[in-house]
Amino acid sequence: MKPVIVVHGGAWAIPDELSNASIEGVKAAACAGFAVLKKGVSALDAVEAAVRALEDNPVFDSGHGAVQNTAGEVELDAMIMDGSTLASGAVSSVRNIANPVTLARAVMEQTDHSMLTDRGANLFAERVGLPTVPTDTLVTEAERRAWQSQKNYAAGVKELFNKQWVHDTVGAVALDSNGNVACATSTGGIRHKMVGRVGDSPIIGSGGYADNQSGAVSCTGHGESILKVTLARLILFHVEQGKAAPEAVEKALQYMGERVQGGGGAIAVCPSGEWAAKFTTERMAWACVDGEALHYGLNPREDFKETL
């Protein structure tokens, strides 16, 4: 089985000044994940490694670089899912954790539960020895400025602003050489979100889903819309009905646009090795390593290729 990894850095109107850094970031994360797969390690390890690389990169809204909620705090959501067992782990509204995806994996592997939230998630992080980091270190100077400037908008304008400037989610899906698939998704959410707002990212079937029998998906975009259509599970449902991965993703995104007027993007990989990276927003930074080549793109219908 030829291993494959696909990553995304969020579907939104990525401004030109962030284009290069976003592309470089997803390429590096895809390569980090693929290095794990090449060693013969599991898809689960690969998606965790790739998402950690994206969380550590301040360009993306997850881990370092996360957006601040209405109270100026950072609350992070993440999930990970193992397609071989359908086991998953998630954390929502966790604070002061540099790599929420690793905490989500600990929830999956070291508890009887699938999801921990808020203070309970932080207490668990302490128990498993995951270090806490000061909120200040997670927030970039650019985020501080953006938060401040949007704070002064009237509520109605802010709503519009939020929709156009969703600074979004990261994620990864992988297929390993044993035919196992996995997904992981991590986010800081939406700037000026209410305290305690949970988006799609940590919700199984919405922010991600992985099943060895159909494939793995990680979603990004307008979280509330993704939740309404349980986007990840919907995409895999289309795959189960015989659709190819790119077609399944396109069909589900189109449905989300028509039914609930939501924009977004998704990456998918199937047990056959077939993969997809599609979006209905202006841009989505994505990258894929499928053995011989590194694929990547930012604008609609782009698929640049570099030989490794």
Partner 1 sequence: MHSMRAMLPVIVVHGGAGHIPKERAELSCAGVKEAARGGYGILRAGGSAMDAVVETVTILENNPAYNAGRGSALNVKGGVEMDAIVMDGRTLASGAVSAVRRVANPVQLARLVMDKTNHLCLTAEGASQFARAMGIPEVPEESLITDYARMRWKKNLAPDANPVECQMGKMGTVGAVAVDAEGNIACATSTGGMINQMEGRVGDTPCIGCGGYADNKTGAVSPTGHGEAIMKVTLSRLILFHMEQGRSAEEASDLGLAYMKERVQGLGGVVTVDPKGVWAARFSSLQMAWAAVQSEQLHYGLYVGEHFTESAHEPS
User: Residues near 150 by Cβ (< 8 Å), separated by ≥ 6?
Assistant: 158, 161, 165, 191, 192
Cβ burial, residue 255 (10 Å; 0-12/13-18/19+): middle
CB of 162 to partner 1, least distance (A): 8
153 binds partner 1 (CB under 8 A): no
121 binds partner 1 (CB under 8 A): yes
Return the range that interacts with partner 1 (CB under 8 A); candidates 28-36, 222-230, 274-282, 294-302. Answer: 222-230
Q: Taking the alpha carbons of 55, 61, 65, 69 in that order, is the dihedral positive or negative?
A: negative
Number of residues that bind partner 1 (CB under 8 A): 46
132 is in an annotated binding site: no
Three-state secondary structure call for residue 99: coil
Nearer to partner 1, 170 or 256 (CB): 256
Residue selected from 157, 194, 293, 308 as contacting partner 1 according to rule CB under 8 A: 194
124 binds partner 1 (CB under 8 A): yes
209 binds partner 1 (CB under 8 A): yes
198 is in an annotated binding site: yes
255 binds partner 1 (CB under 8 A): no
Is 169 known to be catalytic? yes
150 binds partner 1 (CB under 8 A): no
Query: Which DSSP category does 127 fall into?
Result: H
Query: Which DSSP category does 42 fall into?
Result: -
At residue 64, φ and ψ (nearest 5 deg) are -65, 125
Cα(233)–Cα(205) distance, rounded to whole angstroms?
5
185 binds partner 1 (CB under 8 A): no
Residue selected from 228, 243, 257, 294 as contacting partner 1 according to rule CB under 8 A: 228
- Please say whether the beta carbons of 166 and 12 come within 8 A: yes
Three-state secondary structure call for residue 10: strand
Residue selected from 123, 128, 160, 308 as contacting partner 1 according to rule CB under 8 A: 123
Please report, for residues 91, 96, 258, 295, the alpha-carbon distance to residue 122 in angstroms, rounded to integers and kept in the order given. 9, 8, 39, 37
222 is in an annotated binding site: yes
x/- binding map, residues 59-98, to partner 1, per CB under 8 A?
Answer: ----------------x---------xxxx-x-xx-----
Given the DSSP bridges, would you call strands 87-94 and 115-117 parallel, antiparallel or unpaired?
parallel
- Please say whether the beta carbons of 9 and 62 come within 8 A: no
Among the listed residues 102, 117, 169, 187, the single catalytic one is: 169
Return the range that interacts with partner 1 (CB under 8 A); candidates 134-142, 170-178, 192-200, 269-277. Answer: 192-200
Residue selected from 19, 21, 41, 117 as contacting partner 1 according to rule CB under 8 A: 117
- Please say whether the beta carbons of 267 and 6 come within 8 A: yes
Task: For residue 306, list its beta bridge partners.
Answer: 294
Catalytically active residues are 169
Which residues carry a binding-site annotation for substrate?
197-200, 220-223
Enumerate binding residues for partner 1 (CB under 8 A): 75, 85-88, 90, 92-93, 111-121, 123-124, 159, 162, 193-199, 203-206, 209, 223-224, 227-230, 233-234, 237, 259-260
Residue numbers belonging to the annotated binding site:
197-200, 220-223
